[in-house]
Amino acid sequence: MILIRKILLVTSLVLLLIATDVKGSWAVSFSDQQPVILNIFGNAKKDMEGKTQENIGKMTGNKKDQAIGKAKQVESKAAQNTQDTVSDLTDKVKGKAKDIKNSMRKGADEIKARV
């Protein structure tokens, strides 16, 4: 019974990976957001591959598959964290640039008012 449950789990994970590939190719139509969308799907795919490989390793007793699966999950998590950090920094820089622009505009308006 446990073996059947594990086989069903692995099968469903493989089907999820296939669905991720379909969505990944569908996401190409978003030209402006393409890198972000593809990175998200790529990271999720890498994570699912890692989980699948780790679980297959556990089922078969293969320590190498377990370790490689775990490594893929860590790689995916690191890539996602890097992407999140870059996105946060980009938002902060854009916010500061907008603040500077508004400050300069306000200063220019004050100068015009004096003249």
90-110 pLDDT, tens per residue? 888 988 888 888 888 888 888
**Cα 28 to chain center, whole Å?**
15
Report the number of distinct structural domains present in the chain.
1
pLDDT of residue 28: 39
Which of 46, 71, 66, 68 lies closest to 54 in space, CA to CA? 66
Q: Which two tokens stand for residue 3?
A: 């073996």
Residue given tokens 């059947």 in the structure block = 4
Which of 76, 4, 80 lies closest to 68 in space, CA to CA? 76
What domain range includes position 31? 2-114
pLDDT digits (tens, 9 = 90+) for 27-36: 434 444 455 5
For residues 3 and 35, give the distance between their C-alpha atoms in angstroms, rounded to a whole number: 39
